[in-house]
A and B are shown apart, each in its own frame.
Chain A
Amino acid sequence: LAKTTQPISMDSYEGQEVNITCSHNNIATNDYITWYQQFPSQGPRFIIQGYKTKVTNEVASLFIPADRKSSTLSLPRVSLSDTAVYYCLVGASMDSNYQLIWGAGTKLIIKP
């Protein structure tokens, strides 16, 4: 069963670039890596998804090395509103029971 590991918490300052790394040693060949953001009392919100190398959208970049055993979410020039919990999601297949495994989440606190 695939598991993901993320730092429990991180601090940074407005205007800085923040990188959050997720470890997923048992990722399956066909699995994608997805990151979500969650604010208190809200459901998670999709940020970015990738399979390999680098993916970039208007809010973040996702770096995935060749072995795909880890991934790094990069948030450029963060603001106070980026304070949230960030989850790394890896689809894990085990026999016929495809399970979605969520990391414990990284609580990111942005300071002024």
Chain B
Amino acid sequence: KAGVTQTPRYLIKTRGQQVTLSCSPISGHRSVSWYQQTPGQGLQFLFEYFSETQRNKGNFPGRFSGRQFSNSRSEMNVSTLELGDSALYLCASSSDRGHEQFFGPGTRLTVL
């Protein structure tokens, strides 16, 4: 069974731009969660989608948004990028809430 894939793996943007990250979950998994990881803040939960609906949301500003498609693939969008948005963005899929999460390799976003 193929693992979780994330594209792109690396991204460099400038302040004020927007970015879209993509995540393809493991086949059959309907829950996709997004996390931001930085050296200073560790792993922080952004949001979770289940069957195309945002089910849970962390404490991030509205500049961070996401969506999930009918095939469970998910995208995350960050608008008006700030320097502090530089981080590793991780996507994880699971069959449902509370079940084992399988993480992708992450997208390394650098904002200049």
Query: B98 contacts which chain A residues (CB < 8 A)?
Result: 32, 91
List which A37-52 residues lie within 8 A (CB) of chain B.
41-46, 49
Number of interface residues of B (CB under 8 A): 23
Query: B43 contacts which chain A residues (CB < 8 A)?
Result: 44, 87, 102, 105
Say whether chain A's binding surface is mostly helix, strand, loop, or mixed. strand
Interface code B93-112, partner A: CB below 8 Å = 1, 0 otherwise?
Answer: 00001101111111000000
B58 sits at the interface (CB 8 A)? yes
B57 sits at the interface (CB 8 A)? yes
Q: How far is the CB of B9 from chain A (nearest CB, A)?
A: 10
Number of interface residues of A (CB under 8 A): 20
Which residue of B42, B55, B90, B101 contacts A104 across the interface (Cβ within 8 Å)? B42
